[in-house]
Amino acid sequence: MKISLKVHMLGRVSVEINGQKREFAQDKLTKPWQLFCYIVLRGKNVVPSKELIEVLWSESDLLDAANVLKNTVYALRRELFGDAKASESPIAFKKDGYCLSDDVDLWLDVDEYLHLCDVAESEDGTDDEKIAACQKALGAYTGDVLPMLSSEPWAVLETRKCKRHYIFCAHVLCRLLADKCRWNAILPIAQCAILIDPFDEECTTYLFRALYNSQMWRSIVSSYSRISRFFKDELGKDMNSEITKIFIQATGHVNKTEQELLLIKDDITENSQHPRNQRDAYYCSYDMLKYIYQFMQRSAERSRQTLMLMLVTLTPTAPRVKADDIVHAMEDTRVAISRSMRRSDAFARYGKSQYAIVFPITQDENIVGIQARLDSAYADIHSEKKFTLGYKYIKI
């Protein structure tokens, strides 16, 4: 029986089997789904059982690793195909390892993206055809490979490979567009490339060339301050002579006071490259939360709002829990709070198993509804159910 398998891994995880989508938490991948992704990335190539154990349980001292792997494969088959027989599953056992079944017709966005990059990087075609190919390749990159596994070495290697191809295509595209003096088209390409690889000096140079030819003097001044500081702090080097020359010329078009304002604005603006989602509640240190509270208190008095202080505490459901379980549960709680509260709310870690949240509340808002929202978000993320959330709050 032929099995149609459509998988997205760039920037998100989505799995469709024979047109039916499999739902699971986007913030955290369980071991069965990690196993699935690792096997899918290798297609029909057999992955030895030993390799899977080393990759997926590298930090665990398993007493019966082979049996743990078998149970994980069994759990994956159930999630993919319910109670189907092993012979009907998309995951097959061959030569002391696992791979996709011969019956699987796979479409993987990572493979599609890399294929488009190969086409773009070839020497064939006219300049316009190469430009179109590069644009198509860059458009297919929608984020890191398995972003929720950004701490896993094998996922990081896949992301690095994709980023390397992205930057190569960006170089080719910027060069071709520069030859045609299409500076407005270069701007978004260079900006995106720098977000993906902030250390890439070639795309940084193209960015400043595009800004210069577009006479965007203020953007040059503010961008130079931020990027030159980054290069100095992270690489210990100054900007190249061409970029410095562009900056000096741009300062002649912006008066000194305006330059200072632009530099201050750039310095205090929240970094858009930070992984914190701009729509989430603001997560900070406890010391920082004290200052934020004092500011929010003044603002609340002026607008006649009420401030709430909520303490969220993790309570274990079993008498004994491992230290790692607390760490993982606290991270799940942090994500749940970030996504459930408003972006104007602030919270910080308070102790080993608690978070303190400060937020304004209006008369028609229900604190019980806020708790329900937090419980729902936490349940979606924390699948182990080893902890529950407890709440205490006061008006301040």
Q: Per CATH, which fold does 181-275 belong to? A: 1.25.40
395 band by pLDDT with thresholds 50, 70 and 90: confident
pLDDT above 70: residue 349: yes
Mean pLDDT of 268-277: 50
Question: What is the chain's mean pLDDT, rounded?
Answer: 87
Mean pLDDT of 122-143: 94
Note the maximum CA span of the chain.
Answer: 74
Domain borders along the chain are: 1-180, 181-275, 282-395
The dotted CATH code for 282-395 is 3.30.70.270
List pLDDT tens digits, range 223-232. 898 898 888 8
279 band by pLDDT with thresholds 50, 70 and 90: low
Task: Give the residue carrying structure tokens 């130079």.
Answer: 224
Predicted local distance difference test score (pLDDT) of residue 272:
46
If one counts every other C-beta atom within 10 angstroms of the C-beta of residue 248, the result is 11
Predicted local distance difference test score (pLDDT) of residue 39:
96
pTM for the full predicted model: 0.69
Task: Give the residue carrying structure tokens 């196993």.
Answer: 35
Higher pLDDT, 264 or 146: 146
CB 254 within 8 A of CB 262: yes
pLDDT above 60: residue 86: no
If one counts every other C-beta atom within 10 angstroms of the C-beta of residue 133, the result is 22
Share of the chain above pLDDT 70, in %: 91
Predicted local distance difference test score (pLDDT) of residue 84:
54
Mean pLDDT of 2-30: 84
Q: Per CATH, which fold does 1-180 belong to? A: Arc Repressor Mutant, subunit A (1.10.10)
CB 144 within 8 A of CB 110: no
Taking Cα atoms as reference points, which of 94, 147, 136 lies closest to residue 113?
A: 136
